[in-house]
Amino acid sequence: MRQLQCFDGRNALDWESVWAAFDEDGGLIVEHFIQPELLQRLQADFAPLIAAHRPGSATEGFWTGFHGTQTKRVTGLAGHSAAWCELLCDERYVAMGDRYLGKDEYWLNTAQLICIGPNEVPQLLHRDELNWPRARCEREITVTAIFALTDFTEANGATVLAPGSNHWPGALPETPTNATCRAVMPAGSALLYSGKIIHGGGENTTTNEWRVGLHAGFCAGWLRSEENHQLTVPLERARKMPERVQHLLGYRSYSPKKGGRLGLVDYDDAGALL
Ligand SMILES: O=C(O)CCC(=O)C(=O)O
């Protein structure tokens, strides 16, 4: 069974190998990506939000199954955690967005805590780029990180991925079980992956363990992001955030090297408001 390549974030990353793994397999793991002290602050910031949240989806129909009936999903995180805003500025995370989507040409798509609870069934396998089915093209339109805030194990719901499926033709080809692996990784690791790789949340067969992942992706600046950050992080709060975070949350306009500008305010960059 093909596995994802694994790097050690305590050492300087060999970027050529990192991008080669990303391009070939569609994803990779960087263990120890988050410093222990930052990990503790993230866990402390998010613990009360997770405790206050109930499992299951607010949306009926297809989304009830997709989101998971035993899974808590918590969004709107930037307004609650300075530690998360700090991680958003991590230069290795920035490097992934800049490489695949173009420097300053992307938004934070969604940042959600995905807490997979005991007895959760496997999530439907999917490709993240299918959020925008008509926009799919050869290039990446979305790339994502899942940061492990607890250990990810086979038993508690480590993400299921099909390495190499980023090259498979068709919108969502059939995925044989023997083509998949699990992103087993210790707390503090990051799974970095392409919008084209087939993947999904894993089954949680434990009776008492929650698997907590911070699922945070970027999407191209010409796309509407999954989460509406400007409604959960009000302007006054955004003013106090690092410039990169303001940008990622949509408090900037999209100005590609070619083509027109989007998301303007009074024909100026939205950043002028701040
Ligand atoms: O939680 C995971 O491991 C993956 C979840 C996922 O891919 C999703 O909800 O879109």
pLDDT value for 61: 85
CATH code of 239's domain: 2.60.120.620
CA angle at 138 for the pair 171 and 110, rounded to the nearest 5°: 70
CA dist list (Å): 114 to 58, 71, 185, 200, 267: 14, 7, 16, 11, 38
What average pLDDT does the segment 78-96 reach?
Answer: 97
Which band of pLDDT confidence, cut at 50, 70 and 90, is reported for residue 140? very high
CA of 86 to the centre of ligand 1 (A): 22
Domain that holds residue 165: 5-273
Q: Indicate the pTM of the whole model.
A: 0.97
CA of 71 to the centre of ligand 1 (A): 10
Q: Based on the structure, what is the number of domains in the chain?
A: 1
Range with the poorest average pLDDT among 24-33, 49-58, 61-70, 133-142: 61-70
Kindly report the average pLDDT of the chain as a whole number. 96
pLDDT tens digit sequence for 176-189: 999 999 999 999 99
pLDDT value for 13: 97
Asked whether residue 120 carries a pLDDT value surpassing 90, the answer given is: yes
Lining ligand 1 with CB less than 6 A are: 114, 123, 146, 159, 199-201, 213, 215
Q: Which atom of ligand 1 is nearest to the CA of 202?
A: 3
pLDDT value for 28: 98
Q: Which atom of ligand 1 is nearest to the CA of 68?
A: 9
What average pLDDT does the segment 209-223 reach?
Answer: 98
pLDDT value for 64: 85
Which band of pLDDT confidence, cut at 50, 70 and 90, is reported for residue 137? very high
